[in-house]
């Protein structure tokens, strides 16, 4: 019996994708922990047509598995396979870029989308995934042995970089569940205002901050107009959008005292981006992307002086793997609220980001800024 054209097409696509993956030292149905196992023969057509979005969705649907998704992602990112698998439907790649350039997708109304999609999922989910302080950003593992220590070390590193004095008033833009606010209030007797647009975060952060000099507000950063000794923003500017970087910095400038410091903790990119990875944008962080050095430099020009810029992106790999370990370990405590597809989606999210961080696709930065320069010079702390 002769083969159909569809059979020949499937074999050609399988051969093509196998050849591409070979460039990253990845095999189909191989025996190494980073090799992928295919459960649906339509996988090849789907991924070649849809690129990274289709790869993630195929994993969610159970079309493929891998013993070490993080290492698989590390290998394909390091091999720059995204340049090999652009996809036939180029409009799927071009449209998000055009939309980001034409529209401001991080307006006050649109920014609520990421809150509903991610941060308001459930406090229970994050309580069972994060460290005891519920810090949802890269830890600092220099002398840490576990996630709790790494996050406490990061929070204290920020306080030290601010040269935080007892009794000072601090603003935390994008305060999450209030971990930094509590640390600064408990250890430095600081008065901290934390703002977030997540109702779930506000509720739990207020509960956890009782009896401390901490004011947690449901507030957009654009509505701020008061003075603070120092300002921090930890893992929030990624949601601001490149069109709003300048206005964001102007808000910080007007709220920071002349002799104060601003510490920006952010995931970044080495080249300027206007959109996120298509899968991440659809399922995890809508309309979010990290800034590049040039984007940040343009935003702060004539507003701030750069005092210090530390990169510790390798620490994010270890943080994400710790979150993944907690998520898997505690899944039975929360699985009644989610289906199996969500389990695979969240697992893919954490492991994909770990592999990407390991590959140096995106660094993590601590940037210390002043309005007029530090008299006598700023002393860098590591």
Of 66, 159, 175, 353, which is the active-site residue? 353
Q: At CB < 8 A and 24+ separation, what contacts does 103-110 make?
A: 104/241, 104/243, 104/244, 105/241, 105/287, 106/239, 106/240, 106/241, 106/243, 106/244, 106/287, 108/220, 108/222, 110/287
Residue 202 has a CB neighbour count (10 Å cut-off) of: 20
- CA 78 vs. chain centroid, Å, equals 19
Q: For residue 169, list its beta bridge partners.
A: 191
CA 248 to chain CA centroid, nearest Å: 18
Respond yes or no: is residue 175 known to be catalytic: no
Instruction: Tell me the C-alpha to C-alpha distance, in Å, between residue 351 and each of 1, 66, 84, 99, 152.
Output: 44, 11, 22, 28, 23
CA end-to-end span of the chain, whole Å? 70
| Pairwise CA distance, residues 216 & 253, whole Å | 21
Tokens representing residue 54 in the block: 């289709």
The structure tokens listed for 237 are 């500017």
Q: Which residues are catalytic?
A: 353
């Amino acid at each position: 019996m002769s083969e159909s054209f569809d059979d020949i097409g499937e074999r050609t696509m399988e051969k093509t994708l196998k050849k591409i993956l070979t460039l990253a030292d990845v095999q189909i149905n191989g025996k190494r922990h980073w090799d992928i196992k295919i459960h649906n023969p339509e996988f090849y057509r789907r991924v070649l047509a849809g690129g990274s979005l289709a790869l993630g969705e195929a994993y969610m649907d159970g079309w493929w598995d891998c013993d070490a998704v993080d290492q698989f992602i590390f290998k394909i990112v390091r091999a720059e396979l995204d340049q090999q698998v652009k996809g036939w439907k180029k409009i799927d790649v071009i449209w998000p870029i055009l939309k980001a350039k034409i529209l401001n997708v991080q307006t006050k109304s649109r920014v609520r989308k990421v809150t509903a999609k991610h941060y308001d999922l459930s406090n229970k989910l994050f309580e069972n995934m994060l460290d005891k302080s519920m810090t949802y950003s890269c830890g600092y593992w220099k002398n840490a042995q576990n996630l709790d220590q790494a996050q406490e070390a990061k929070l204290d590193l920020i306080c030290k970089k601010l040269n935080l004095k007892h009794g000072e008033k601090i603003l935390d833009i994008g305060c999450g569940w209030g971990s930094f606010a509590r640390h600064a209030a408990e250890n430095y007797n600081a008065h901290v205002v934390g703002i977030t647009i997540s109702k779930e975060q506000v509720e739990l952060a207020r509960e956890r901050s009782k009896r401390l000099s901490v004011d947690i507000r449901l507030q957009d950063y654009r509505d701020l107009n008061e003075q603070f000794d120092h300002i921090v923003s930890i893992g929030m500017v990624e949601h601001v959008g490149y069109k709003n970087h300048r206005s964001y910095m102007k808000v910080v400038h007007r709220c920071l005292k002349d002799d104060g410091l601003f510490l920006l903790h952010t995931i970044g990119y080495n080249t300027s981006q206007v959109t996120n990875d298509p899968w991440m944008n659809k399922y995890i962080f809508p309309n979010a992307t990290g800034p590049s050095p040039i984007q940040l430099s343009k935003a702060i020009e004539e507003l701030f002086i750069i005092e210090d810029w530390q990169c510790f992106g390798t620490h994010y790999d270890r943080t994400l793997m710790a979150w993944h370990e907690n998520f898997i370990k505690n899944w039975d405590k929360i699985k009644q609220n989610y289906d199996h597809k969500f389990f695979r989606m969240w697992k893919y999210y954490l492991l994909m980001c770990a592999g990407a961080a390991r590959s140096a696709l995106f660094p993590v930065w601590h940037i210390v800024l002043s309005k007029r320069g530090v008299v006598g010079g700023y002393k860098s702390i590591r």
